[in-house]
Amino acid sequence: MSSTASAAYPLPSLSDGPAGLMLEEVPLATLAERFGTPTYVYSRAALTAAFRDWQAALAGRRSLVCYAVKANANLGVLSVFAQLGAGFDIVSGGELARVIAAGGRADRVVFSGVGKSRAEMRQALAAGIRCFNVESAPELERLNEVAGELGQRAPIALRVNPDVDPKTHPYISTGLKSNKFGVAFGEALELYRRAATLPHLRISGIACHIGSQLLDPAPVAEAAAKVLGLVDQLSAEGIVLDHIDLGGGLGIRYRDETPPSVAAYLAPLLAAFGDRREEICFEPGRSLVGNAGLLLTRVEYLKHGEEKNFAIVDAAMNDLARPALYDAYHEAVAVCRSDAPRQRYEIVGPICESGDFLAHDRELALRDGDLVALLSAGAYGMTMSSNYNTRPRAAEVMVDGGQVHLVRERETVEALYAGEHLLP
């Protein structure tokens, strides 16, 4: 696509065509006609290009890029990254099962999260995952017990909390000492000493992740410097690590943000890393999928009020929770040109909650039945969706050049209560 179109939309594979907006070579209107709405639509080209950016920035280094599955766990999306050679960062046994079902390699999986159950530990050990990112002293002891029961040694890294302010939304900040994540920096050395005495653990690395939607590499560089200092302390005590995991968090453009390129984001980290022998690992999620997807929805009604105009669409907060949860901004664009007058609309859904909004105060030319695309919806869109108001979750579609693949069928109402039972 042209550079002009690329600059116009956060989603790089979106462009204007004679039939309205197109993703890669496919008109969005065609997708709506074929699959209905609301539907999540992803670009394979955008997913691939985003991953290649990370590979290029790390070229020549011993490194591993582990896609953060929680951002978008669709099997079609995961299979794209598996084919590109990605590792995976998971936070549940369910995500591990998805990675393996999508063709991902268990020995390239790192298991993060503060609440790993015994069953999940057994599942991950049986699969042969690369590493557990341990987030507390009790988890360390439990993992040692579970691995002993299976006659194994569990590979571990401690997720260290460096108490660095990432300057992002408080709900997606994870590296402050007030957050639930990770081991306090001041306690990490002693906990590594304890881990070294446990017979069913094998110390493999160290991990750190301070938050999401980061637009400035400085806080990450500050955290990395603290982590590297701790690595050297450990080495002096004979605890030698194989890898250093500096997490993910690189932000994307939703509106007018100016996130750094992957290369610019990594530059200060790689400079601090120098020519160290340890493998360097990252866990990007949003930066790989956020601007590779959109939510396609259709206007049900245009409701003109005394103070506000409402475009009531068939997508809702159960489909895209980020606006209601974070007051997050998603660019809303009309899919096809219209001769309707341009007006300012609240874009809202059918759910019976005042918080059911997708976009505030957007100037659009719309008529009943028109299609609207909510952009930058590839991350934390479908993965955070629900069935509130007994609404089936959306379909998901992958565009690959001129080809279209249905990567998740739309749910049916009957499927939602199939596991429920009447009382006698």
Selecting among 66, 131, 336, 352, the annotated active-site residue is 352
**pLDDT score at 8:** 60
> Mean pLDDT across the stretch 8-34?
93
201 Cα distance to chain centroid: 29
CA distance 11 to 376: 6
* 380 labelled ligand-binding: yes
**pLDDT score at 164:** 78
**pLDDT score at 171:** 43
> Mean pLDDT across the stretch 375-389?
98
* 286 labelled ligand-binding: yes
343 pLDDT above the threshold of 70: yes
* 285 labelled ligand-binding: yes
Instruction: Give the predicted TM-score (pTM) of the model.
Output: 0.94
* 249 labelled ligand-binding: yes
**pLDDT score at 137:** 96
7 pLDDT above the threshold of 60: no
**pLDDT score at 175:** 41
Who has greater pLDDT, 164 or 230? Answer: 230
> Mean pLDDT across the stretch 329-343?
96
CA distance 207 to 230: 11
In whole numbers, what is the pLDDT of the chain averaged over residues? 93
CB 34 within 8 A of CB 404: yes
**pLDDT score at 174:** 46
* 353 labelled ligand-binding: yes
**pLDDT score at 306:** 86
**pLDDT score at 5:** 39
**pLDDT score at 165:** 67
CB 309 within 8 A of CB 345: yes
pLDDT tier for residue 9 given thresholds of 50, 70 and 90: confident
- Which domains are assigned to the chain? 3-43+290-416 (2.40.37.10), 112-284 (3.20.20.10)
Structure tokens at 407: 């990567």
**pLDDT score at 305:** 85
What is the tens place of the pLDDT at every residue in 34-74? Answer: 999 999 999 999 999 999 999 999 999 999 999 999 999 99
> Mean pLDDT across the stretch 109-133?
97
How far lies 324's CA from each of 20, 56, 238, 305, 349, in Å? 29, 36, 49, 22, 11
4 pLDDT above the threshold of 70: no
**pLDDT score at 166:** 57
**352 belongs to the catalytic site:** yes
3-state SS track over the chain: CCHHHHHHCCCCCEEEECCEEEECCEEHHHHHHHHCCCEEEEEHHHHHHHHHHHHHHCCCCCEEEEEEHHHCCCHHHHHHHHHCCCEEEECCHHHHHHHHHCCCCHHHEEECCCCCCHHHHHHHHHHCCCEEEECCHHHHHHHHHHHHHCCCCEEEEEEEECCCCCCCCHHHECCCCCCCCCEEHHHHHHHHHHHHHCCCEEEEEEECCCECCECCCHHHHHHHHHHHHHHHHHHHCCCCCCEEECCCCECCCCCCCCCCCHHHHHHHHHHHHCCCCCEEEECCCHHHHHHHEEEEEEEEEEEECCCCEEEEECCCCCCCCHHHHHCCCCCEEECCCCCCCEEEEEEECCCCCCCCEEEEEEEEECCCCCEEEECCCCCCCHHHCCCHHHCCCCEEEEEECCEEEEEECCCCHHHHCCCCCCCC
350 pLDDT above the threshold of 50: yes
What b/e string do you get for 109-127 counting C-beta neighbours within 10 Å, with b at 16 or more? Answer: bbbbbeebeeebbbbbbeb
> Mean pLDDT across the stretch 20-25?
97
Share of the chain above pLDDT 90, in %: 88
What b/e string do you get for 169-207 counting C-beta neighbours within 10 Å, with b at 16 or more? Answer: eeebbbbbeeeebbbebeebbebbeebeebebbbbbbbb
What is the tens place of the pLDDT at every residue in 151-195? Answer: 999 999 999 988 776 555 454 444 445 466 789 999 999 999 999
> Mean pLDDT across the stretch 267-279?
93
What is the tens place of the pLDDT at every residue in 87-117? Answer: 999 999 999 999 999 999 999 999 999 999 9
220 pLDDT above the threshold of 80: yes
Who has greater pLDDT, 174 or 292? Answer: 292
CA distance 335 to 155: 49
CB 391 within 8 A of CB 356: no
